[in-house]
Amino acid sequence: MSYVQLAVYGMTIVVAVGVAVYQLYTERQSNSATGFRSSSSVRDICVFCITGIPEGRSRSLSCGHTCHEKCFAAFKGKCTDCH
C-alpha cells in the first residue's frame, strides 16, 4: 500500500469520526420536547413547557409572559401561570 493510499484512508477515518462527534454534539443540544435546538441565544423560559426559547422563536402572551411558537398554538395563547 502506498503512502498516498494510507493518507487517503487516514483522512477518510478522521472526517468520519469528526462528523460522528458533531452529530452527537448537535443531537445533545436538541430539545426533543419542542423540536427547537438550544443555543447560546436562549433568553426566556417558556411558561408551557419550561424550556429555553431561542431568539426569534418566541410569542408574547397578553399577560406579558413568553412561550414557543408551537406552544402558543397548542395552548391557544392561554398562559398556564395566569389561567
| Integer Cα distance of 44 and 54 in angstroms | 8
| Integer Cα distance of 70 and 2 in angstroms | 56
Minimal CA–CA distance to 66: which of 80, 46, 39?
46
Per-residue pLDDT of the chain (83 residues; tens, 9 = 90+): 788 888 888 898 888 887 777 776 665 555 444 454 444 455 678 877 877 777 777 788 778 788 888 888 777 777 766 65
> Looking at residue 29, what is its pLDDT?
55
What is the CB-side half-sphere exposure of residue 77 using CA atoms within 13 A?
6
Name the residue ranges covered by the structural domains of the chain. Answer: 1-30, 39-83
